[in-house]
Amino acid sequence: MKITGIKSHVLSYELDEPLGYSQKYYTKRTAHIVEVTTDEGITGIGECFGPGGVALTNKTIVEKVIQPLIVGMDPRDREVIWNTIYNDIRDHGQKGMPMQALSGVDIALWDIAGKIAGLPLYKMVGGAFRDKIDVYGYGMMLQQVPDLEERFHNEAAQIKDMGFNAMKMKIGKGVKEDIRLVSAVRDAIGDDTGLMVDANHAYTAREAIPLGREFEKLGVDWFEEPVAPEDYQGYRDMCEALDLNIAGGEAEFTRWGFRDLIEKRCVDVLQPETCALGGISEYLKIRDMAHAHFIPVVNHVWGSAVCVAMNIHLLAAMPNLPGGAHPTEPMLEYDTTPNLFRENLLAESLGVLDQVKENGGWISLPKGPGLGIDLDWDFVDHYRVDA
């Protein structure tokens, strides 16, 4: 079996209103889907992390840099292919967009491997440790409106009514306003619902530590990306100063980047983004490194239904972290904000929202080989954009 080609499908559409995080606001939804074809008719699907112009840049890397390197190679030789690509781009892209591009290709190769074997991805990476996955709802993105507290209050109540037992919100508007926003959400959902906050590296450690102390009073479960991803000492200072969990890692890449983050005990909860860090092959090494240091892993999930499907498999196959009578169970992060690429991209929906509502917060494992999904190609054609 040989790889015959790689195609990038960048999809986009305009949002009804801008949604944002501490660093910027988006007016469009974007998804970057990678398709790897073979001479035996088996096709693999993957996804690259990154919106807008980032996705278009990654498309060029996938098709113009990576494709010529691996056409003609056996798609089952995933480690050989990964290292061939990485060694070629090492001098130009140890982090960032080249790794995002490599991630989508690697994920597609794992999808091919599962289809060849006739096994779901979770079987290919070691088997399922659980037959259901707890899900937390991601929402409350920043909006440029005067009534943000009221909107967050109402949205949080809606997410709870959808069946989620935990949720995550954006912050980063400033210390005083963040406290008001988190207070409004906690008021809406009560004390029995888990709550996480995500600052997207809005603060320095000096600003974030006293903010974290206020979050402790509000029962926040973790404080995500409080400081810049490069600020390892800032992360470590926060872990030492606060009792609530410090989470991060979505902006880190490869085992070498995560090595320092993990060995320096910079986070209490690690959040690898598989569609960015180097793909499934690299994720498995990072997951095991984190567990070797007794750091829980809760995957970062931001993308289309392809990303969601892949992460369901990876979470099913994640070993329980030892160290207590009641090990931390992994959770699936699920975006509840408007996203057609999450709900309408597949020929058959994953049905996450329906399952969460019916089951009281959890979903079952997908069936079928590889990622267990098929794209709706008419939908892809409709939303595809050119570079």
Q: What is the pLDDT of residues 138-185, one digit of tens each?
A: 999 999 999 999 999 999 999 999 999 999 999 999 999 999 999 999
Is residue 287 in some structural domain? yes
Is residue 82 in some structural domain? yes
Residue 56 has pLDDT above 90, yes or no: yes
Residue 240 has pLDDT above 70, yes or no: yes
Other Cβ atoms less than 10 A from the Cβ of 96: the count is: 15
Q: How confident is the model at residue 387 (pLDDT cuts 50, 70, 90)?
A: low
Stated length of the chain: 387
Average pLDDT across the chain, whole number: 96
Angle, helices 97-117 vs 52-60, to 10°: value is: 70
Is residue 369 in some structural domain? no
Residue 95 has pLDDT above 80, yes or no: yes
d(CA 255, CA 94): 11
| Residue-level pLDDT at 86 | 98
Instruction: Answer yes or no: do 30 and 146 share one domain.
Output: no
d(CA 252, CA 380): 29
Residue 270 has pLDDT above 60, yes or no: yes
Residue 328 has pLDDT above 90, yes or no: no
Of 138, 169, 136, which Cα lies nearest the Cα of 22? 169
Tell me the whole-structure pTM to 2 decimals: 0.97
CA distances, 360 to each of 36, 345, 354, 364 (Å)? 37, 25, 10, 12
Lowest mean pLDDT among 15-24, 283-292, 378-387: 378-387
**Residues 6 or more apart whose Cβ sits within 8 Å of residue 142:** 19, 20, 21, 22, 25, 148, 170, 172, 173
When pLDDT is averaged across residues 222-245 and rounded to a whole number, the result is 98
Instruction: Answer yes or no: do 25 and 111 share one domain.
Output: yes
Instruction: Answer yes or no: do 98 and 199 share one domain.
Output: no
Of 277, 274, 286, which Cα lies nearest the Cα of 99? 277
When pLDDT is averaged across residues 50-56 and rounded to a whole number, the result is 95
pLDDT 10s digits, 59-82: 999 999 999 999 999 999 999 999
| Residue-level pLDDT at 229 | 97
Angle, helices 175-189 vs 205-217, to 10°: value is: 20
Instruction: Answer yes or no: do 37 and 155 share one domain.
Output: no
Q: What share of the chain in percent tops pLDDT 90?
A: 96
| Residue-level pLDDT at 321 | 86
Q: Is 300 a known active-site residue?
A: yes
When pLDDT is averaged across residues 19-38 and rounded to a whole number, the result is 96
Task: Categorise residue 3: left if φ over 0, alpha if ψ from -120 to 50, beta otherwise.
Answer: beta
Residue 87: domain span: 3-121+374-383
Domain with 153 in it: what CATH number? 3.20.20.120
Is residue 225 in some structural domain? yes
Among 9, 32, 153, 300, the active-site one is 300
